[in-house]
Structure 1
Amino acid sequence: MHSSHREWASCNDFHVPHDNVVNQYYFKAKDGLFHATIFTLRAEPDVMFMREASEEVVQNNCLRCHVQQVTQVKYDGDL
């Protein structure tokens, strides 16, 4: 991992849901089977994108760890 999080978190902290252990293992098995199939069949795309379920998991995990930072941000409508 090349991010600033490498000292504090593992891949599972980002890419696996943490709501309950059953969902955690189910998601990991389903995602692992998908990746194993793609790599076994040599069907890797040139550009990789996260699937919608993975995007939701990653976003939820960002919020799970950084809720203090994102709740203290004030948005006034201007960027």
Structure 2
Amino acid sequence: MSAMLIACKYEEIWPPEVNDLIAISDNAYSGEHILVMEKAILSQLGWYLTVPIPYVFLVRYTKASIPSDDEVIM
């Protein structure tokens, strides 16, 4: 749930609230657990996140669109 929260905050305009994630998990986690784990994940990443601007997605798309030597069939 914490990884989902981080991903949604990165990608979505309106990420879900913690209460929504609690409901999705059928109350398996408390809001405090989700937020503590979010902090732990981000701490492991050194709080290093990029900004989701069009350039980031263009670079990803460009890398994905270039076939590797193994994918080229002649």
TM-score, normalization by structure 1: 0.29
Rg larger in 1 or in 2? Answer: 2
Higher RCO structure (Cα 8 Å, ≥6 apart):
1
